[in-house]
Structure 1
Amino acid sequence: MNSNNIKNLVLNSLFIALVYVATRFINIPGPTPGGLFHLGNVMFFTIAIVFGKKAGAISGGVGMALFDLTSPYAIWAPFTLVIRMAMGYIIGAAAEKFQKKKVYNIVSILVGITVATLVMIVGYYISEVILYHNFITPLQSVWGNFMQSIVGTVIGVPFSATLKAALKKANVNIYLEDKRISIK
C-alpha cells in the first residue's frame, strides 16, 4: 500500500467517524416512527462540499449505515448505505463543479443539496414501502426527512464556507484520491 492510499484510508476513516459520531451522539428522537433528528447531515454535507463527491459518498453512506447497524435501526443499513452514498456523490459533484472554477457558488451547492434531498425522500419512501408493504404509512416520514436535510443545509453550508476559508488561510493542502484538493 503506497502512502497516498494510506492517506486516503486515514482521511476517509476520519470522515466516516465524524459522520457516525455526529449521528450517534448528537440526536433527538423525532415525532414519526423511526424518525431521528441528528447532526450527522451537517458533517456529511460539510465533507461532501469541502472534500468532494468521493469523500461525501463514502462518509455519508458508510458513516450513517454504521449508525444504523449499531442502533435499533439496523434493518435500514443497506438502504441508508445506498441512499446516503448517492446523496454525498450528488452534493460533492455540485460543489466540485465550481471548485474547479475557483469560486464557492452557493447556488450550485444548494441545487446539489436539493437534488440529493429528493433522492433521499424518494429512496427512503421506497425503502419503507419495501419494509412495511404499504404505500401510505411511509408518507409519515417525508416531512422528517425533509427537515433533516434543512437542518444539514442551514448549519452545514455556512460551516463548509467557514472551514474552507480557515483551511485556505492556514494554507492547508489535502491530498485525497491521489489528487490535491486545493482549498479555494
Structure 2
Amino acid sequence: MRNERLRRLTLAALLLALSVVLGRFFVIPIPWTHGYINLCDAGILIAALLLGPAYGTAVGGFGGMFLDLLSGYPQYALFSLIAHGLEGLTTGYLGQRAGSRRGYQCLALACGVVVMAACYFFSDSLMYHTWMVGILSIGGNLLQGVIGGALALWLTPHLRKRM
C-alpha cells in the first residue's frame, strides 16, 4: 500500500515536470491574445487518466502555474492554476469512470479540454476588459487541448501496461 502511494506520487511529480518541460520547449505564440499554444496539456491529461482526479488536479494546476511563471506570463499564473487544475480534475474524474474504454476516455478528454478553454475565455475577457479577446483565445486553447489529448490517448495505454 505504502509502496503504491509512493509510486503514484513519484509518477505525478515526473508528469508535473514533463508538462512544464513540454510547455516550455514547444511554444507557438498567439499575438492577438498575448498567449501561446504549448504541449503542457499532454502531461496533465496523462496524469489525469493514469492517476485520477486528485493527481490530475495537482499536476494540471501547478504545471500550468509554474509554466506561466517560468515563461514570463505571471499575469496568467492564477488563471492557469484554476483552468488546468479543473481540466485535470474533470478529465481524471470522468476518465476514472471510463476505465480503459477508449470512447469514454475520449469523452473525458474532450470535457476536460472544453473546461480549460472556457476558463481561459473568462480569464482573457476579464484581463483585457473585452469578451472579443476571450473569443479569440478559444480556438488556440482548443487546439492545444486536442493535441495534448491525442498524445495522452496514444501514450496512456502504453504507460498503464508499465505501471
Letter in 2 for 1:115: C
The question of 1:70 aligning with 2:70 is answered yes
For the Cα contact (< 8 Å) 1:15–1:55, is it kept in 2?
no
**1:3 Cα shift?**
7.7
**Unpaired segments ≥5 residues, structure 1:** 173-184
**1:13 Cα shift?**
2.8
Q: Report the TM-score when normalising by structure 1.
A: 0.78
Partner of 1:95: 95
Q: 1:112 aligns with which of 104, 108, 113?
A: 108
Distance 1:8 1:105, change over 3 A: closer
Partner of 1:181: none
> Aligned residues, how many?
162
CA RMSD of aligned residues (A): 2.1
The structure where helix makes up a greater share of residues is: 2
Distance of 2:9 and 2:111 partners within structure 1:
28
Partner of 2:61: 61
Distance 1:4 1:151, change over 3 A: closer
Q: Report the TM-score when normalising by structure 2.
A: 0.88
Deviations 1:118-154 (A, max 9, x none): 2112111111111111122221111101111111122
* Identical amino acids, percent of aligned pairs: 25
Letter in 1 for 2:119: G
Letter in 1 for 2:82: V
The question of 1:156 aligning with 2:147 is answered no
Distance 1:108 1:15, change over 3 A: same
- 1:27-42 alignment runs, 5 A limit: 27-30=27-30, 32-42=32-42
The question of 1:124 aligning with 2:150 is answered no
**Unpaired segments ≥5 residues, structure 2:** none
